[in-house]
Amino acid sequence: MQRIAGEGYRVVVFDNRDSGLSDKHQALTGNMLAQRLQQAWRGETVTPAYTLTDMAADVARLMDELEIPEAHILGGSMGGLIAQIFAAHWPERTLSLSVVFSTSLDPQLPKGHGWHLLYDDNQAPVAAPRSLPDDPNTFADMVRASAAESALYTGTDHRPTDEQQLQLAEQALSRCYCPEGYMRQLLAILCHSDLREANRSITAPALIFHGAADPIFPVACAQSIADSIDGARLEVLAGWGHDLPDSMHDWFISRLTGLLRVSETDVACSAG
């Protein structure tokens, strides 16, 4: 984010609802939340606490509050889904669209070998403690476990060091610990329909970033997004997984800023 700001852009980063320091949803919790998540994971129809479209509307409302009429929209993973929905629903406010390691939600797409990392019956978030422990040794164990799980999302060539994984895990857990928020967000993903038809209405210049070694979403998921957006370009980096390690930043920034400049040129020509 600092690198992008260094290119002369105003960068707005925010915590989605139910994460970080944003408000947490209280109406769907406990056993009822766990049951609905398990049903949705099996493909049954259930009602989520909120939808991905609601989360895209959060972006529009935040832009209103900050008096931002239009912006370059970038999102990764679930944020990539939200970004696609935003660009389709608010085309007049989308200068460009960047989707990072995400998917179109086409149910026929292959699942990565690490798909189970999101959720399965053996490591469901409902089994996690509801709050952080006071004991520092227990907290340190949680940090190590979280770092070890995050390491499973990495690629083959582009990986954070073990020290970086531990530091990131400690920062994340200390800033916000809300396993049920993760469950409600995952439920929103599982309950959303295929994005491809709506994507055909996206008019902004679009760039799809993906790692060839993503354990969650194979490259076919990114290709599906690119195929559903007129003129979208797909950029794939060998050895990159489902995270943002330092070693791929130069590659990422160079391509992102290229998209931003091209889209701004298009806007200037249209205005002229």
- Distance between first and last Cα of the chain: 31
Q: What is the pLDDT, as a whole number, of residue 122?
A: 55
Tokens 């970004």, residue? 83
Assign domain 2-271 to a CATH class.
alpha beta
Q: What is the mean pLDDT of residues 195-224?
A: 98
pLDDT band at 227 (very low <50, low <70, confident <90, very high): very high
pLDDT at 241 over 60: yes
Residue 116's pLDDT band (cuts 50, 70, 90): confident
Q: Which residues of 168-202 are buried (b: 16+ CB within 10 A; e: fewer)?
A: bbbebeeeebbebbbbbbbbbbbbeeebbebbeeb
Crossing angle of helices 78-89 and 52-65, rounded to 10°? 70
Half-sphere exposure of 23 (CA within 13 A, CB side): 5
Using 50, 70 and 90 to split pLDDT, how confident is the model at 117?
confident
pTM for the predicted model, two decimal places: 0.94
- Confidence tier at 70 by pLDDT (50, 70, 90): very high
**Band of the pLDDT at 121, cuts 50, 70, 90?**
low
Q: Where are the domains of the chain?
A: 2-271
